Amino acid sequence: MKLEILKKIIEKKKNKNEFAIITNISNGESEIFEKNKPLSKEMEIYSNQINNFFKSKKNGVIEGSDIFVETYILPIKVIVVGAVHIAQYLVDFAKSLNFEICIIDPRGYFASEKRFPDMKIINKWPDEALKEIETNENTALIALTHDPKIDDPALQHALKKKFYYIGALGSKKTHENRCARLKEANFSDEQINLIHGPIGIKLGGKSAPEIALSIIAQLVSETYKK
């Protein structure tokens, strides 16, 4: 690999960019791939396959070629609002996936190091806590408290920042009331309909770990649609 390419890779990692290294293993020549940026003429014929590797966050050799694709994808930032029992199982599932979890809950007796070891916890109200977190369209929100004073400000923030995934726990009636409050806060039907509520894929389970599994399944599904 040329020194120039290596320096660019180091810089992109430092700046937390998402990219892929495309290498012709027959001659060792490499180049950097970034979304919506042109490839060299040599690699351009493989652009669809390279894009597919990048979107699926996988590494591998393009079939029928000597082209190796190595992706560098940042962890997905997932903000969990509400350090409830379901959140403990949710965190356990998420640890083995490419998710960077942050828990927000002003109730310190719920959101504690003892209940969530080695996890970033912010014991503040969402309005304050979200000022401490860099968020964008690649961020996900999972609201679990059922408490409008805690969930609603977080949901409003997620809608304004266009999070790619927004989910909120609660019954259909709870979600109807939630939607009505958001409408009163001047959010459009189009925006409100982006919220997955009730949250999770319908697996039929009712226990805390089963609900957590349904949420993680939905989160993973939406992540691969990005």
CATH number at residue 171: 3.40.50.720
Beta-carbon contacts of 202 under 8 Å, excluding residues fewer than 6 positions away, are: 214
- Main-chain dihedrals φ then ψ at residue 168, nearest 5 degrees: -140, 130
Final residue of a structural domain among 72, 97, 113: 72
Q: Name the β-bridge partners of 220.
A: none
Do 62 and 134 lie in one domain? The reply is no
Final residue of a structural domain among 15, 43, 72: 72
Do 197 and 89 lie in one domain? The reply is yes
Residue 174's pLDDT is: 93
**pTM greater than 0.95 (yes/no):** no
Residue 185's pLDDT is: 96
User: Quick one: DSSP state of residue 97?
Assistant: T
Do 81 and 66 lie in one domain? The reply is no
Residue 148's pLDDT is: 94
Do 88 and 161 lie in one domain? The reply is yes
Kindly list the averaged pLDDT for each block of 10 residues, start to end, along the chain of length 226.
83 84 92 90 92 88 94 89 95 87 92 91 95 90 95 97 96 94 96 95 90 96 84
Final residue of a structural domain among 37, 57, 72: 72
Do 98 and 180 lie in one domain? The reply is yes
- Domain membership of residue 24 as a residue range: 3-72
CB 23 within 8 Å of CB 67? yes
The C-alpha atoms of residue 171 and residue 181 are separated, in whole angstroms, by: 15
Do 150 and 108 lie in one domain? The reply is yes
Residue 208's pLDDT is: 94
Residue 138's pLDDT is: 86
Do 31 and 123 lie in one domain? The reply is no
The C-alpha atoms of residue 95 and residue 100 are separated, in whole angstroms, by: 8
The C-alpha atoms of residue 43 and residue 20 are separated, in whole angstroms, by: 13
Do 42 and 81 lie in one domain? The reply is no
Do 122 and 30 lie in one domain? The reply is no
Residue 76's pLDDT is: 87
Residue 224's pLDDT is: 81
The C-alpha atoms of residue 51 and residue 203 are separated, in whole angstroms, by: 32
